[in-house]
Amino acid sequence: MRLSVLMGAVSQGLLWSILAIGVYITYKILDYADLTTEGSYPLGAAVAAQMILSGFNPFIATFVSMIAGMVAGFVTGFLNTKLKIPSLLSGILSMTGLYSINLRIMGKANLPLLKQDTVISIVSDMGIETSTAVLIVGIVFVLIVIAILWWFFGTEKGFAIRATGDNADMIRALGVNTNSMVILGLVISNGLIALSGGIMAQYNGYADVGMGTGTIVIGLASVIIGEVLFGHSSILRSLFAVVLGSILYRIIIAFVLSKGLVPTDLKLLSSVLLAVCLSLPLIKEKLYDFVEKIHGNKSKEGEVNA
Amino acid sequence: MLKLQNVRKVFGKGTANEKVALDKVSFTMNPGDFITVIGGNGAGKSTTLNAIAGLFFVDDGYIEIDGNDVTKLPEYKRAKYIGRVFQDPRMGTATNMSIEENLAMALRRGKARGLHKGITREEKSKFREYLEMLDLGLENRMSTKTGLLSGGQRQAITLLMATMTKPQLLLLDEHTAALDPKTAKKVLELTEKIIAEDKLTALMVTHNMRDAIKLGNRLMMMHKGNVLIDVCEEDKKYLQVADLLKMFEKASGGQNVDNDRMLLS
């Protein structure tokens, strides 16, 4: 793999990792499989692209795209906690509704950003090569996101959200309105996902109504690859692990593309990759049993205490 | 301190599985009362505790804690009055969070949670003292996730979490039933010690008649969603297991006695 390809994969991984962090918040911290992702990601792209085309500063457009995602997250949370619609279905409802909303915002299915200022072009205008500018934008956004989340999950409210995903009965018994915490978690998560979409639209040079398809799988794969390979002993460690997972995922994609796979095969590849990652605990267990059988019956105490 | 008046709860109303969990439960607790509650399976012991804690709203009746009508108050708003320890040791703590983080959350029971630090340095040293009191060596493992602890250790921590803010009411729902006899004894001793030292008002459900007689100043026996017997302080001093069984047989009209007797002893 050429160095420029590798660097492109790393940059893309960084931009995608903001989405992956959003997925991490719902899937890992809140224990909530949120499909809003597939609608809030293109929502962020649509808002950012349309605002830039309307002449807004790209940074303001990017910021507003995040706010739009937060609203989407709020809607899903409201459907789930107040109207008691199951979590998976709440996400599907938001995602489906957002498809129409995104088309309304864009006015057509694809919105190119030809010769427009973007957060990336603003950085490269300072005399930096475009590929380096992407890397800088990625690193800066990711570090800001991680710093804020690390601080937030160390606050009283952050503790309450973590406990809501961990043991809702317990934290309710300690006086926390768990419904509000679910909504807040979804708001933060979808804000980040839309932010990722907003930046990605500027990186790609267009917003497309179909760009959300498969994003939840990409996000989950990044989260799981990251946590399995780089650990999850603390929130901070998990956040960095998810970013590294996202980068690794992009490198894998770049690798298989260089081996002759066509981009349209990627969704299948993503699904297979995620299926393998998700079944890792079971595979590990079976492997353990198998090894145990061969080596005679060693005591299982170590596993129980672990 | 606590007042229940004609509290009624029917589960699965209008279905084939309709069950009157609480029929007409009424009793009053004075500050400092420590009531042990016994009764067979399905008597309504846990349901009474859950009704007080607000896990569901009752169909009929009135619940008052410390002079406040809480009948229509959601669970999370009642939390400021109530400390709880559950039967299942997994239920009392957030297992992916550390001991000190769990304690910090318990310290903020019923308070508004903002963007202040979830745990401060002063709190940590306070927690260390509390944990030393438990005498389980946990003061040196404060950043260990509670999921890695044994059931007994978790119950001890849950007990600490439930009592550290000195709640108006402590609800213990068979909190030693899932532990081995030795650990159960230790947790029970700790319970007794904390309740006595902090002069807490407590309601403890148990399956063990001897514990029910030994602990507390009052004893309540429930049957089919009603309070059958309420033994006051003077009478409880001389109470024996045999007396309890006789009282139960008489009060319940001899129904299902053999069956329930086994569950009670």
Task: Give the pLDDT confidence of A51-72 residue by residue, as tens digits.
Answer: 999 999 999 999 999 999 999 9
Q: What is the mean pLDDT of residues A89-98?
A: 97
CA-nearest of B256, B233, B253, B229 to B243 is B229
pLDDT of residue A299 exceeding 60: no
The token pair at A267 is: 């969704």
- pLDDT band with cut points at 50, 70 and 90 for residue B217: very high
**Tell me, what's the pLDDT at B255?**
57
**Tell me, what's the pLDDT at B265?**
44
**Tell me, what's the pLDDT at B113?**
94
Q: What pTM, to 2 d.p., does this model score?
A: 0.91
User: Mind listing the pLDDT tens digit for each residue in B61-85?
Assistant: 999 999 999 999 999 999 999 999 9
Position of tokens 């006051």? Answer: B232
pLDDT of residue A303 exceeding 60: no
The token pair at A293 is: 């059988």
**Tell me, what's the pLDDT at A281?**
76
- pLDDT band with cut points at 50, 70 and 90 for residue A158: very high
**Tell me, what's the pLDDT at B244?**
80
pLDDT of residue B7 exceeding 90: yes
Decide if B121 touches A, using CB distance below 8 A: no
d(CA B231, CA B238): 11
Decide if B97 touches A, using CB distance below 8 A: yes
Distance from CA of B90 to the nearest CA of A (A): 9
Alpha helices in B108-208 (DSSP H): 121-134, 151-163, 181-198
d(CA A155, CA A200): 30
User: Mind listing the pLDDT tens digit for each residue in B26-48?
Assistant: 999 999 999 999 988 889 999 99
Helix (H, G, I), strand (E, B) or coil at A209: coil
Cβ-contact B233, B217 below 8 angstroms:
yes
**Tell me, what's the pLDDT at B256?**
52
Residue B117 has what DSSP assignment?
B
The token pair at A178 is: 């768990």
- Provide the ipTM: 0.90
- Which of A163, A177, A178 shows the shortest C-beta gap to B97? A163
pLDDT of residue A183 exceeding 60: yes
Interchain contact, A178 vs B76, CB within 8 Å: yes
Residue B166 has what DSSP assignment?
-
- pLDDT band with cut points at 50, 70 and 90 for residue A296: low
Residues forming a β-bridge with B226: B223
d(CA A191, CA A194): 5
**Tell me, what's the pLDDT at A243?**
98
Q: What is the mean pLDDT of residues A266-277?
A: 88
Cα-Cα end-to-end distance for chain A: 40
pLDDT of residue A1 exceeding 80: no
Give the mean pLDDT of chain A. 93
**Tell me, what's the pLDDT at A306?**
38
pLDDT of residue B90 exceeding 80: yes
Interchain contact, B116 vs A162, CB within 8 Å: no
Domain boundaries in chain B? 2-94+151-264
The token pair at B157 is: 């921590």
d(CA B198, CA B69): 25
d(CA B255, CA B253): 6
Residues forming a β-bridge with B203: B35, B171
Helix (H, G, I), strand (E, B) or coil at B213: helix
Kindly list the distances between the CA atom of residue B170 and the CA atoms of A31, A273, B175, in Å, as whole numbers in the listed order: 30, 50, 12
Question: What is the CATH number assigned to the segment(s) B2-94+151-264?
Answer: 3.40.50.300
The token pair at A122 is: 């603003």
Buried b / exposed e over A93-121, threshold 16 CB at 10 Å, is bbbeebbebbeebbeeeebebeeebbbbb
Of A152-166, A220-234, B243-257, give the range with the top mean pLDDT. Answer: A152-166
Position of tokens 């980040």? Answer: A192
Interchain contact, B110 vs A157, CB within 8 Å: no
Q: What is the mean pLDDT of residues A1-25?
A: 93
Q: Give the other-Cβ count within 10 Å of A156's Cβ.
A: 20
Q: What is the mean pLDDT of residues A30-34?
A: 95
- Which of A156, A166, A173 shows the shortest C-beta gap to B95? A166
**Tell me, what's the pLDDT at A305?**
43
Residues of A in contact with B101 (CB under 8 A): 159
- Which of A152, A154, A171 shows the shortest C-beta gap to B94? A171
Residues forming a β-bridge with B172: B85, B204
User: Mind listing the pLDDT tens digit for each residue in A72-84?
Assistant: 999 999 999 999 9
User: Mind listing the pLDDT tens digit for each residue in B149-199?
Assistant: 999 999 999 999 999 999 999 999 999 998 988 889 999 999 999 999 999
Residues of B in contact with A238 (CB under 8 A): none
pLDDT of residue B262 exceeding 90: no
Cβ-contact B24, B9 below 8 angstroms:
no
Residues B170, B175, A302: CA angle, nearest 5 degrees:
135
